[in-house]
Structure 1
Amino acid sequence: MDIDTPIEALTFDLQGETFALEAGLVREVLDLLPETAVPGAAAFVGAVINFRGRIIPLVDLRLAFDMPAGEPTIDSRIVVIEYELDGEATLIGLRADKVHEVTSVAHDTTEEAPRVGMRWRPDFIRLLARRNGDLIIIPDLDQIFAARGRSSATATPINALQS
């Protein structure tokens, strides 16, 4: 990654916190769609949606960050991303409380998450960015999907490091 090139990112809210995903992952931002619950599935990926004739999993990142699920609002959206899981490009829907915009995040405004003092698992955070006095969390989807989604994404859960 070239440190002179800013990260183009889609910003969105989860429980009042601002998160960002690299814009290159985003395929579409959708209004809420009817969901089908998946019996026996973990709450993190407890439903699927029909996206243009394809059934795709619907992920709630709030649950990965131990936030309450929350009820959808008029601002709630589904961010459809294309992400490589188990060596295959996979469409995934992510719940968002509100989607903002695509913005540039300069590398000199980012830093790694501190290993202590965080209310969330630091391995779930790829970078933290500062913008106009606010904090933007860029999640580490590899770590989140490996730990919560039980994929074989190339990541080591933090508990494995502590044994």
Structure 2
Amino acid sequence: MTPAINLAKKKKVTHTVHQYEHDPRAESYGLEAVTLLGQDPEKVFKTLLFCLNGEAKNLAVAVIPVDKKLNLKMAAKAAKSKKAEMADPTIAQKVTGYVVGGISPLGQKKALPTFIHISAKEHDQICVSAGKRGLEIELAPDDLASLTRAQFMELAV
């Protein structure tokens, strides 16, 4: 079990865990999950960390569809900051307790401001990383928002 799955269980959130054999040569962790789980790419979301105003340890979380690219201007606006840039992967791993490619928005070591792409609201269920490469958790977008204290925002184009 991962902290993400444990949190969903503890809060009695309806969820499904999907597991697949991760290929270390995969170019995109998210698209690998889509392919191997036979999911719609619009329903599988990736977790990205970004830093605010050039401060490497001032982090926030974006949860966006795997087939989209994070718009850093939109991310900065969502976080009420002047500037956003992608977080250093080493710092992201330290702060969340998860490895890159397996970072879950759920059960992170430190609660960070979290923003979920508005398109998640179009689906009954979405998948996000469950905290390990090759492990996804499927749950209602509102449950994800509740567990992470997230806001739904436009984050990608």
TM-score by length of 1: 0.24
More helix as a share of residues: 2
Q: Which has the higher contact order (CA 8 A, sep 6+)?
A: 2
Task: Give 1 or 2 for the bigger CA radius of gyration.
Answer: 1
